[in-house]
Structures are given as structure tokens and as C-alpha cells.
Amino acid sequence: MAVNGLGMLLSLVRQNPGVTRSELIEELGWSRVTLERRLNDLVDSGFIVAASQHGSAGGRPPEGFQLDADHGVLLAADIGSSAARFAVTDFLGDPLISVTRPFDTELGPTKALTIVRNQFRSLLSQAGFETDAVLGIGIGLPGPVDFAAGRVVHPPTMPGWHGVEPAVVFETEYPDAPVVVDNNANLLALGEYRKMWRDRSDLILVKIGQGLSSGLILDGHIYRGPGGMAGEFGHLYCSEGTQCRCGRFGCLESVAGGWAVQQQLQSVGNNVQSGEEVVSLAMRGNYLALDLLARAGELIGEALAPAVCLMNPSTLVLAGELAQAGEIIAVPMRAAIKARTPEYLFERLTILPARSGSDAGVNGAAFLAQDAACVRHDFSAKRDASKN
């Protein structure tokens, strides 16, 4: 673990792109000589580069430091229950090449992870890189993950995945790259937060897709809970709930999840096969689709109101296929939260659609892989060598 001086310095540069020597000295309390030696070590290792800063009034602009985009590449996968997005990104997490494919986690882990491995190989080759350029791998799955153990835990809608450790599949091919696996709502939250909301300390990302889940960012970090299930609110009891796909009865998802809304529309003869088609039907003025989405928004708002009271978040971001319905779902949701929370809490809360589009999940996966690559790197050899 990089808990030594170089690790601390790298962590600061990662979190503050463009940070200057003066800012680093102020933060770390090191002498200029110590800082210079360690900056040189990080530049030599390829992790960071110096970049001139703009906007200084006269004189030579101060030199800032940031991660080196060209240090290596990251492999990222954002796997949903019906589709997956794969990307090769630069070291900053910006996709160099990406692709979205239909995906079925019900195939079971062996077949599904083989598809992931083949997609990574294919994209890496198309982007012109060898496996040794890969510095980290991040994978998001549509179910709970014990993050520290890298293990899938009782996923309600992924038969055969309980106890699976996806990293094992990639270790032989990429022996030097850490593999991190997380719930995809967490990765959406991280991607959206680091790309769009860095100025805030907290964010709740609510994913209204085929299922319902959320990712919580507290003080700039993903909050997962000890079992990795924080934010999994789709299987909360709801008095209007019916038989849920998880096997229980009465889950919120069984009335407000995309699959449930879709089923209700199909039961009266509407041919809708995806969340996008549900939203499109509502946009065309179908009364039942409008009603179902509005009711879903209201019930989701009712379920989230206690979280607003408990956590006092500043930002609630809506993502997922059904969130594309915009105000149709957001207005009743906002009203339900407002009706259930004290005014002084509600007036500080911003509720907005996600901003980073279809890449939010792979961005989050890449950021997680980047974090792991920086933390795992063993600087001790470099540091010892630099003393000689």
C-alpha cells in the first residue's frame, strides 16, 4: 500500500489536477528539497507530468502537476441487466474506444465473464495496445458486491453469481493490473461526481432503470456499507408492491422499477421491450405510460425522503432509462420528497438529471481502476534506488 510520502503526494496530485509546488508544500508541510525529490520520483515513474498553468498575471506561470494521461490504459466495463458498455480509457479515465453490447447476466458468471474478457481483448487490440499497457481494470455489476473482498453477494437478479470473484478471470492475462469490482450504481455515482460535481462534498445518484438502486458519495468517497449494499433501495417494502423478481413480495421495484412498468404496459397490449420504449410511449402521450411513470416517481420520492432526512444531501442526481422521462418522473418525485421532509432540509436539496451521459458508468469504473493502480503501485523500490 502506498501510504508513504510518495503515495500521499500522488494522492494529492490525483485529487487536485494542476496543483502547484506552493500548494503542495502548504498541504504537506515538507521542505522544498523533499518535495522536489519526491516529485521527480513520481515523474520518473511515469505517473505524473508537469504542466504550465495559465492565467497568472505577468512573470513565469507556476508549474502544476497532474496524472499523466499516457502513463498506460485502463479497462472499464459497466454491466447492466440487459446491456453492457465496455471501454479502454487513458490513465485519466477518458475513453479512447468504447462499445455498448446487449448483455444477459442470467447467462451465469462463467459465460458472462468470458464475454467481458473477450470484449476487453478486442477493444485493446483495436486501440492498438498490448496487455502490458493495462494498469487497472474496473467492472460494475447490477448487484451488491463486497468491495473489499471483490465478491458478488446475494444478487437478487443474477442467478449463480453469489460468491463469485470476477477478478480471478483476469489475473492470468493482466498479472500487474489490479481488478476492482463494484455495484454499477456506485460507479455511476463516482463517474458523475468526479466529472461533474467535484465542487460538492456529497451526492446521491438514483438509478431508475430496469431495477432501482442508488450510489452514495459522502465526503467525496463512495459509501458502500459493511456488506456493500448501501443504497440498494429497490427491494424496500412498499404497500403497493406485488411479486418481485427477487422472489420476495411487496418490493418497491415490483411497482416502480422499469421491468414492472414494462410488464403492466404489456399486460394491456402495449408492445414495449425496454425502458427506452416505455419512456417513448409516455412521450407520445400514452395515458397509462404517463400515469405509471408519475406513480413510480411518487413512490421513489416517498422511499427517498427518509434518506434525505438522515443524510441531508445537497445533490440528488437521477440516472437510468426511466429517468430519461425527465419531468414526468422528476416532478412527482420532488413533490413526494418535499411533502415528507422539513422545509429547511428540502430547500438545500438540488434534484437534477445526470449530466455525463452514457459514459458515466465506464468513467466510474475507470476512476476506480485508476485509484487502485495508484494505491497498488509499490514505490519502495523506486525510493530506495533514488537514495543511491
- Give the distance from CA 67 to its chain's centroid: 20
CB 91 within 8 A of CB 74: yes
Tell me the pairing of strands 350-353 and 179-183: unpaired
Considering only residues 95 to 134 of the shown chain, the ones binding Zn ion according to CB under 5 A are none
Query: Smallest distance from the beta carbon of 277 to Zn ion, in angstroms?
Result: 23
Nearer to Zn ion, 71 or 235 (CB): 235
What number of chain residues touch Zn ion (CB under 5 A)?
A: 5
Q: Which segment (8-16, 237-245, 285-293, 299-307) binds Zn ion by CB under 5 A?
A: 237-245
Q: Would you count residue 303 as binding Zn ion (CB under 5 A)?
A: no
**Window contacting Zn ion (CB under 5 A); options: 13-21, 207-215, 241-249, 291-299:** 241-249
Could you say whether residue 8 binds Zn ion (CB under 5 A)?
A: no
Stretch in the footprint of Zn ion (CB under 5 A) among 73-81, 218-226, 230-238, 276-284: 230-238
236 binds Zn ion (CB under 5 A): no
- Applying CB under 5 A, does 246 fall inside the site for Zn ion? yes
Given 139, 244, 300, 316, the residue binding Zn ion (CB under 5 A): 244
Among 194, 195, 207, 235, indicate the residue that binds Zn ion (CB under 5 A). 235
Q: Which residue has the cell 419531468?
A: 327
Start-end of H helices in 16-65: 21-28, 32-45
Q: What SS3 class is residue 10?
A: helix
User: What is the amino acid identity at position 277?
Assistant: E
Cα separation, 141 vs 138, in Å, equals 10
Q: Which residues pair with 50 in a beta bridge?
A: 65
Of 134-153, which residues contact Zn ion (CB under 5 A)?
Answer: none
Shortest gap between Cβ of 249 and Zn ion (angstroms)?
A: 8
When the beta carbons of 177 and 212 are compared against Zn ion, the nearer one is: 212
Is residue 251 close enough to count as binding Zn ion by CB under 5 A? yes
Residues 327 to 366: which contact Zn ion by CB under 5 A?
none
64 closest CA partner among 45, 47, 44, 39: 39
In terms of CB distance, is 105 or 341 closer to Zn ion?
A: 105
- In the bound state with Zn ion, the residue whose beta carbon lies nearer, of 150 and 241, is 241
Alpha helices in the chain (DSSP H): 5-15, 21-28, 32-45, 109-126, 168-171, 184-196, 253-256, 258-267, 275-283, 287-311, 327-340, 343-346, 360-376, 380-387
Q: Is 229 in the site for Zn ion (CB under 5 A)?
A: no
Q: Should residue 281 be labelled a site residue for Zn ion when binding is judged by CB under 5 A?
A: no
Instruction: Please state the separation of Cα 216 from the chain's center in Å.
Output: 10
Helix, strand or coil, per DSSP, at residue 238:
coil
Q: List the strands of the sheet with 73-79, edge to edge.
A: 95-102, 83-89, 73-79, 134-141, 179-183
Hey, what amino acid is at 362?
V
For the CB of residue 246, give the shortest distance to Zn ion in the complex, in Å: 3
Give the relative orientation of helices 275-283 and 258-267 as an angle to the nearest 10 degrees.
60
* Smallest gap from residue 154 Cβ to Zn ion (A): 12
Q: How far is the CB of 56 from Zn ion (least distance, A)?
A: 56
Residues that bind Zn ion (CB under 5 A): 235, 244, 246, 248, 251
